Amino acid sequence: MYIDVTINTDDERIGELARRYWELTDEGTFVYSVAELASEFGIKSHQVTKVVKENASAYRTDITCSSCDECYLLTKRTDATQPFYRLVPRHEDWTCEDCLEEEVQVQRDFERYNAEKSKSHSLAQRVICWEADVRHQVYLLAFLKHSGDESLSRILPLGNNRLDLLAPTTEMTFEVVRQLLHNDLISVDPNSPEGAYFVNDDVEFRLYLERCAWLITTFFNQDNAELGEQGIDGPALYAVLDKHLSSDQFLKDNIDDIQEIAWEVVEQEAVAFLEYVLKERGLPQRFGEMTHHVLRKALEEYSLAQVYRMIWQAARNASDYLVRNRVPKQQAANTIPRSIDGYMERARANEWEVSPFRRNFNLPQSVLARVVFNQILGTDDGGFHTPLHSLFGKEQLQGCSQSD
């Protein structure tokens, strides 16, 4: 083992102190103790290490950086006598701090390049908001309302808004963002918080949807699209889109699409409440197609507020079953769809008036639901209080179903 000492002072006496401080015998032990050096050089023992560190650097020549061949910098005296594997477990693959920082910077530059490339691709598609699917127009307005910054020049990360939900469930929230992204109405903002996007080991560009900030890549007319990035006008897009989706003509022209979105939102609201009550009772929130089928069946006949009561009652029954019979928690949770189905059958046979629940404080109406039910359909949380078959009945939407 050999220690390479670099002297950083013109004081020969201090330089000699540093060389002796790091000098080793052939057996790998120190030639001089700190006390001996302090006595010989007239320095207090507790000051020797400080003086040496300030005026010299020592390196172990048996440990070198795999990238630049720089030797291992010793930060304390005992490291000079330690076996290499205690300092760097795989010394043949050891990389110095400078090279690590450079690798990190190169990786960040490459990730940013991919983000810029993604943005350029989306802008090149020249998506005009009026030409986008109705679903995507609704999603874009809801996303702007939920996460648009004050200037509407960019869309902030989803996690920044702790007051509102974009969609009833996390799954649907991510699906809204994915559809807007994949259809080039938005792109990832290269200035997103660090770690929001990355390039994996397979050189694939990946995003954390909740952490990313976004850029609007949707144009509100053809003239602006011809200008490229300079033609993006967030405030104008928001104002025109907000007015367009509030018009009777938009509802009249797209009633089938709006009804489809409304059904999806309400079903996800029911799923979100089911997950909530199961979590409250310590039951697993894993359910499959049978549960979704029963919830859809219930929503075809009852309002979401009434279905809330069925879900709450089914969860209570499952909890009682768990305690009474000491069965596995998943087995108890699996009784939920049958319990809801049985409740509906008894309510129908006995002509019960199912009492509605109030909206849960912890599950407020999502922004997407407000756009669909309050803004487009002109109701006050109609998707919660009114059965969808009534909300979309001819008497409610008579003006929209009449032909010109």
- Residue 394: pLDDT above 60? no
Residue 196 has pLDDT above 60, yes or no: yes
Q: Give CA–CA dist 358/277, Å, rounded.
A: 14
Residue 243 pLDDT: 94
Cα separation, 38 vs 372, whole angstroms: 81
134-149 pLDDT, tens per residue?
A: 999 999 999 999 999 9
> Residue 372 — pLDDT band, cuts 50, 70, 90?
very high
Task: Give percent of the chain with pLDDT exceeding 90.
Answer: 60
pLDDT digits (tens, 9 = 90+) for 17-44: 999 999 988 888 899 999 999 998 998 9
| pLDDT interval class at 286 (50, 70, 90) | confident
Return d(Cα 83, Cα 104) in angstroms, integer: 29
Per-residue pLDDT, averaged over 204-215, amounts to 90
Give the separation between CA 298 and CA 300, rounded to whole angstroms.
5
Give the model confidence (pLDDT) of 46-101 as tens digits.
Answer: 899 999 999 999 998 888 888 888 888 898 898 888 887 778 876 567 888 888 88
**Overall average pLDDT of the 253-272 stretch:** 95
Mean pLDDT of 337-350: 92
Cβ atoms < 10 Å from Cβ of 319 = 19
Per-residue burial over 64-88, b if 16 or more Cβ lie within 10 Å, else e, is bbeeeebbbebeebebbeeebeeee
Which is nearest to 287 in space by CA: 305, 259, 267, 303?
267
